[in-house]
Amino acid sequence: MSLPKIAWIGLGIMGSPMSENLIKAGYQVTGFTLEREKLDRLAAAGGTAAASIAEAVRDADVVITMVPASPQVEAIAYGPDGILENARQGALLIDMSSITPQTSVDLAKAAEDKGIRVLDAPVSGGEAGAIEAVLSIMVGGEQADFEQAEPIFEALGKTIVLCGPHGSGQTVKAANQLIVAVNIQACAEAVVFLEKSGVDLAAALDVLNGGLAGSTVLTRKKDNFLNRDFKPGFRIDLHHKDMGIVTDAARNVGAALPVGAVVAQLVASLRAQGDGGLDHSALLRAVERLSGAQV
2-13 tens-digit pLDDT: 999 999 999 999
Q: What single letter denotes the amino acid at residue 162? A: L
SS3 166: coil
**pLDDT for 219-239, tens place per residue?**
999 999 999 999 998 999 999
In order of 6, 81, 114, 118, 130, the CA distances from 111 in angstroms are 17, 15, 5, 7, 27
Average pLDDT over residues 76-95: 97
58 pLDDT more than 80: yes
* DSSP state letter for 196: H
**Separation between Cα atoms, residue 192 and residue 188, nearest integer Å:** 6
**Separation between Cα atoms, residue 136 and residue 230, nearest integer Å:** 23
In order of 46, 60, 103, 151, the CA distances from 118 in angstroms are 26, 14, 12, 16
Q: What confidence tier does 293 reach under pLDDT thresholds 50, 70, 90? A: confident
* Cβ-based neighbour number of residue 40 at 10 Å: 11
Could you give the count of Cα atoms lying within 13 Å of 212 in the half-sphere of its Cβ?
A: 0
3-state class percentages of the chain: helix first, strand second, coil last, to nearest 5: 55, 15, 30
Average pLDDT over residues 261-268: 98
1 pLDDT more than 70: no
In order of 3, 9, 10, 81, 224, the CA distances from 74 in angstroms are 28, 13, 13, 12, 34
**pLDDT for 211-223, tens place per residue?**
999 999 999 999 9
Q: What confidence tier does 29 reach under pLDDT thresholds 50, 70, 90? A: very high
Average pLDDT over residues 276-292: 97
83 pLDDT more than 90: yes
User: How is 100-152 classified by DSSP, letter by letter?
Assistant: -HHHHHHHHHHHHHTT-EEEE--EESHHHHHHHT-EEEEEES-HHHHHHHHHH
Return the percentage of the chain with pLDDT > 70, whole number. Answer: 100
58 burial via Cβ count (<10 Å: 0-12, 13-18, 19+): middle
Average pLDDT over residues 257-270: 98
**pLDDT for 168-201, tens place per residue?**
999 999 999 999 999 999 999 999 999 999 999 9
**Separation between Cα atoms, residue 150 and residue 1, nearest integer Å:** 15
Catalytic residue check, 173:
yes
Q: How far apart are the first and last CA of the chain?
A: 57
Q: Please, what are the domains in the chain?
A: 6-165 (3.40.50.720), 171-290 (1.10.1040.10)
**pLDDT for 121-134, tens place per residue?**
999 998 999 999 99
Check 5, 114, 158, 173 and give the catalytic one. 173
